[in-house]
Amino acid sequence: MSRVYNFSAGPAALPAEVMRRAQAEFRDCNGTGMSAMEMSHRSKAFIAIAEQAEADLRELLVIPANYKVLFLQGGATMQFGAIPLNLLRGKNTADYFRTGAWSEKAVKEAQRFCAVNLAVDTQAGNYTDIPDASEWKFSKDAAYVHYTPNETIHGVEFHDVPEAGDIPLVADMSSNILSRPIEVSKFGVIYAGAQKNIGPAGLCVVIIRDDLLGYMPEGYPSLLDYTAHAKAGSMLNTPPTYAWYFAGLVFQWLKDEGGIAAMEARNIQKSRKLYDFIDASDFYSNPVAKHCRSRMNVPFTLAKPELDKLFVEEADKAGLKNLEGHRSVGGMRASIYNAMPEAGVDALIAFMQEFEKRHG
């Protein structure tokens, strides 16, 4: 099999070591003679896998005991609706940061359930910056504050956790969870779709402070109720068992690699290399303000946009896959999550240099 580097934004490349281990265990997991995919979710063998995965995630993120960890389905998109339902707690306003395409979607979904105050809104500037905290406009009676620490499409990342006082802070960490240490106690809820830094699509991890449980109003499906999920140990119905197992392998890999601090060091190194190269060139550019550039998703444009298609095609032939930008913004985007080795970034930069020589 030829070696490729997959720069997809998600579902994204998974660590090669984890893929090999999953392959080795595919038909006989832990000596059971069964694939993890074939086990009853209530079996001893699967419960052991599920508990280990949760314990490893708790260790990696240093999750305090008063937080529940849920392994759910429905993706981050289902949480866009579940968050207001579970967290409004009788109030009717929530504060949102609209800083890119994903928070824009979260806002739209929340507006079905409550009044949304945009404490931060960078839509008019095409989501290329985050204003200083002195300009944020929180409302007086918000049930919670929601933000998207990393905007996967626009390549905008918060490098500090917003200060929301006593109001529960909710974060859609889909595209940067496990890429850097976080202080979980600063958050009321953290949620993340798995298909970038956790594992295969189909799983969404929700980390929720336990005093926020118990407020789901009547009249909604129980599958949207975090309290019901927490009580049932995420087994209210059949969970996405294989994705949960696979996430567990990724968590073990992260521990073997030195944990989240080691990942952060690598991610700083990889993203700095790529941004430095882009900034030094007249041919490539990145539109995002330097203080809030993403370490995970690096969008870039060419001085000659008519060459976008050729760039993506030639890169693909060179084994550099999925570099086209999101259909809503165009240009190119390199997603460089935990599983992308530095050699992949080096190969991309070498290709970009060579492409510029021929076309610049």
Q: By the criterion CB under 6 A, which residues form the site for ligand PMP? A: 10, 75-77, 102, 148, 152, 172, 174-175, 193
Residue 3 CB, nearest distance to ligand PMP (Å)? 25
Active-site residue identified among 102, 244, 253, 270: 102
Residue 89 CB, nearest distance to ligand PMP (Å)? 23
Question: Two tokens at 298?
Answer: 């690096």
Q: Compute the distance between CA of residue 333 and CA of residue 313 in angstroms, rounded to an integer.
A: 14
Consecutive H or E run containing 231: helix 226-231
Could you tell me the sign of the dihedral formed by the alpha carbons of 174, 195, 227, 221, in that order? positive
Q: Compute the distance between CA of residue 272 and CA of residue 266 in angstroms, rounded to an integer.
A: 10
Residue 345 CB, nearest distance to ligand PMP (Å)? 20
Nearer to ligand PMP, 15 or 193 (CB): 193
Q: Compute the distance between CA of residue 96 and CA of residue 166 in angstroms, rounded to an integer.
A: 15
DSSP-based three-state secondary structure for 204: strand
What residue is closest to ligand PMP based on CB?
A: 75
Nearer to ligand PMP, 152 or 271 (CB): 152
| DSSP code per residue over 101-146 | HHHHHHHHHHTTTSEEEEEEE-GGGTS-----GGG----TT-S-EE
Residue 245 contacts residue 36 (beta carbons within 8 Å)? yes
| DSSP code per residue over 283-325 | SEE--S-GGGB-SSEEEEEESSGGGHHHHHHHHHHTTEE--BP
**ω into 11 cis (within 30 of 0):** yes
Active-site residue identified among 95, 172, 244, 253: 172
Active-site residue identified among 121, 196, 225, 244: 196
Which residue blocks in 29-100 are alpha helix, DSSP H?
44-61, 75-87
Nearer to ligand PMP, 104 or 225 (CB): 104
Q: Is 196 a catalytic residue?
A: yes
* Residue 283 main-chain phi, psi, to 5 deg: -90, -35
Neighbour tally for 354: CB within 10 Å: 12
Pair type for strands 320-321 and 5-6: parallel
Nearer to ligand PMP, 129 or 314 (CB): 129
Nearer to ligand PMP, 202 or 283 (CB): 202
Residue 299 CB, nearest distance to ligand PMP (Å)? 13
Residue 193 CB, nearest distance to ligand PMP (Å)? 3
Nearer to ligand PMP, 193 or 239 (CB): 193
Residue 283 contacts residue 47 (beta carbons within 8 Å)? no
Nearer to ligand PMP, 95 or 349 (CB): 95
Q: Is 244 a catalytic residue?
A: no
Burial bucket for residue 281 (CB in 10 Å: 0-12, 13-18, 19+): middle
Residue 107 CB, nearest distance to ligand PMP (Å)? 12
Q: Is 56 a catalytic residue?
A: no
Pair type for strands 297-302 and 332-335: antiparallel
Residue 156 CB, nearest distance to ligand PMP (Å)? 11
Q: Which residues are catalytic?
A: 102, 172, 196
